[in-house]
Structures are given as C-alpha cells and as structure tokens.
C-alpha cells in the first residue's frame, strides 16, 4: 500500500500526512517555503517539483525510507468532525471547483435525485446539509451509492495508513489551534528558511468555491444528525479529543495521546 497522502520537504527535514479539509494547503506551503524561501505559485496540490509527494513516483522510495526509519519528524493535522463535514458539503457539493465544474461530475445531480439535496439559488442550507449527511453515512458505512470520498471519510482512517505501514507520528496538531501547533512543528525541524507563522498568509484553496455558511455550525445539527456524525466519526472524536455533544464547540477538549493513537490506529 505504501504511504498515500504523505508529503515530505525536498530537504527531507519533515514528513507530513495530508488529511483533506485540515489546513493541508497552508501546511504544504509552509513546507515549500521552509526549503525555498518562497511560497509555491499556485495551489500546492498542483506542485510536481520542489516537494516530495507519494503521488510522484521518484519520491516514493525516499518517503518510504524516511517514514519507516522513524528518524524524521513526522506530523499530521486533524479537525473537528462537525466543522470538517460541514466544510466538505459547502466546498465539494455546493461549490464550483477550480476547473469551473462541479466536483466529481455527476455527483451533485445524483445527490439531488437520490437524497433531495439542493445546492442552487436560495436553497435551505440546513435541510440540504442534513440530507447530504445521510449520503455521507451511506458511503462510509455501506459503501453505497459510491465509496466514501477522501474529503468526508474519517480523519482517523487517513491518519492510520502511515501507522499501519510502519510510520509513527511525533506530533498531531489541531486545525483549530493551528498557529500553536505549527510553531511547535517548526521548532523541531531544521528549516532552510525561517517563517513567521503569525504573519504568514493562510492558503485556503477551497474558499470561495461555494456559498457562504448562513448559520452557526450548531444550527446544522439536530439530534439525529449529531447521532449520525458520532456514528460515522466516533474514532475521530475519541482519539483527537473533540466534544460530540456540542457541535458549537470546535476546539479540542483534551490533549491527543500519541500512544493511544498509535495503538488504536495500528490495529
């Protein structure tokens, strides 16, 4: 299986497991800057040089060596399941992608026909999101009407592949406390170029793809949808210390226990 979703600086100073909808664009740009003293011109996901990625064949043996030796500082970034799945809905379902088209071609028409999800005009965001959540549950739990998409499949599932294939995390940071977490990461790597995390730009490549959220996060989740989110993302809540009882509290409620994460995700 290897190490899908793993990026590494060209200097091999740090390894990062990408998790969609968890500040991955900003993190990739920080890694690129730490080597080159400039940000990548464009979406870092499009970079084919200047950074090692598992998707680049020539990078795979280097990534494998560094990850399995467990000598290179390795980290990932996680996010509250409530805000992450909501963000995936607005970006991937309601939004138009960088190529000017809908995400995954006929996905949105299929959602409209089979689940009654509306995405055009002045649609009812809360009703459509809750119907999307049923679809997300069906893809993750039953793998129908399609396999789960990387943007709403569980964070723990993404994070586990590195562990199961012989890697180990030195740090897991939270999107909600990004600056604090990323500063700690930078302290532990030998960067060619220093970067001020407090003043650097944020690279939110999904911003502007879809309509703006019209309500507070908690308004999108009634008792049933909270139950569905917990059913889908239970391991994320438990391992990464988020509160399943309060969708309005996006912050972690405890410290991530790395030993627990490696034990549970390495099974």
Say if residues 47 and 105 touch (Cβ distance below 8 Å).
no
Neighbouring-strand partners of residue 6: 17
The pLDDT tens digits of the residues spanning 144-174 come to 999 999 999 999 999 999 999 999 999 999 9
pLDDT per position as a tens digit, 205-263: 666 667 889 999 999 999 999 999 999 999 999 999 999 999 999 999 999 999 999 99
Inside any domain, residue 222: yes
Domain annotation covers residue 259: no
In the numeric block, which tokens belong to residue 261?
């994460």
125 in a structural domain: yes
Exposed/middle/buried for 197, CB within 10 Å: 0-12, 13-18, 19+?
Answer: middle
Domain count for the chain, please give it. Answer: 1
The yes-or-no verdict on residue 202 having pLDDT over 90 is: no
Nearest to 172 by CA among 250, 233, 257: 257
Parallel/antiparallel/unpaired status of strands 14-17 and 73-78: parallel
Closest CA to 94 of 131, 119, 127: 119
Residue 163 belongs to a domain = no
Instruction: Please give the residue range of the domain that contains residue 121.
Output: 82-151+211-232
| 243 domain-assigned | no
Contact 230, 203 (CB under 8 A): no
Q: For residue 65, tell me if it sits in a domain.
A: no
Q: Does residue 181 sit within a domain?
A: no
* pTM of the model as a whole: 0.95
Residue 97 lies in a domain: yes
Close Cβ partners of 90 (under 8 Å, ≥ 6 residues apart): 209, 210, 211, 213
CB atoms within 10 A of CB 137: 19
């Amino acid at each position: 299986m290897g190490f899908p979703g793993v990026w590494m600086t060209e200097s091999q100073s740090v390894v990062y497991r990408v998790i969609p909808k968890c500040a991955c664009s900003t993190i990739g740009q920080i890694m690129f800057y730490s080597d080159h003293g400039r940000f990548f011109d464009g979406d870092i996901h499009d970079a084919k040089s200047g950074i090692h990625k598992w998707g680049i064949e020539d990078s795979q043996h280097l990534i494998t060596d560094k990850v399995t030796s467990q000598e290179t500082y390795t980290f990932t970034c996680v996010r509250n399941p409530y805000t992450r799945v909501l963000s995936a809905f607005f970006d991937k379902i309601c939004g138009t992608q960088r190529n000017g088209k809908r995400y995954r071609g006929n996905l949105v028409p299929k959602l409209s026909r089979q689940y009654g999800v509306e995405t055009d005009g002045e649609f009812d965001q809360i009703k459509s999101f809750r119907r999307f959540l049923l679809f997300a549950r069906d893809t993750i739990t039953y793998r129908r009407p399609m396999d789960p998409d990387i943007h709403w499949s569980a964070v723990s599932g993404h994070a586990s592949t590195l562990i199961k294939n012989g890697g180990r995390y030195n740090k897991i940071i939270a999107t909600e406390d990004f600056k604090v977490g990323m500063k700690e990461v930078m302290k532990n790597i030998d960067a060619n170029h220093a970067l001020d995390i407090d003043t650097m730009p944020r690279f939110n490549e999904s911003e502007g793809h879809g309509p703006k959220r019209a309500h507070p996060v908690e308004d999108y989740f009634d008792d049933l949808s909270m139950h569905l989110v917990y059913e889908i993302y239970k391991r994320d809540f438990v391992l990464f210390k988020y509160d399943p009882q309060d969708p309005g509290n996006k912050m972690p409620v405890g410290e991530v226990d790395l030993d627990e994460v490696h034990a549970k995700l390495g099974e």
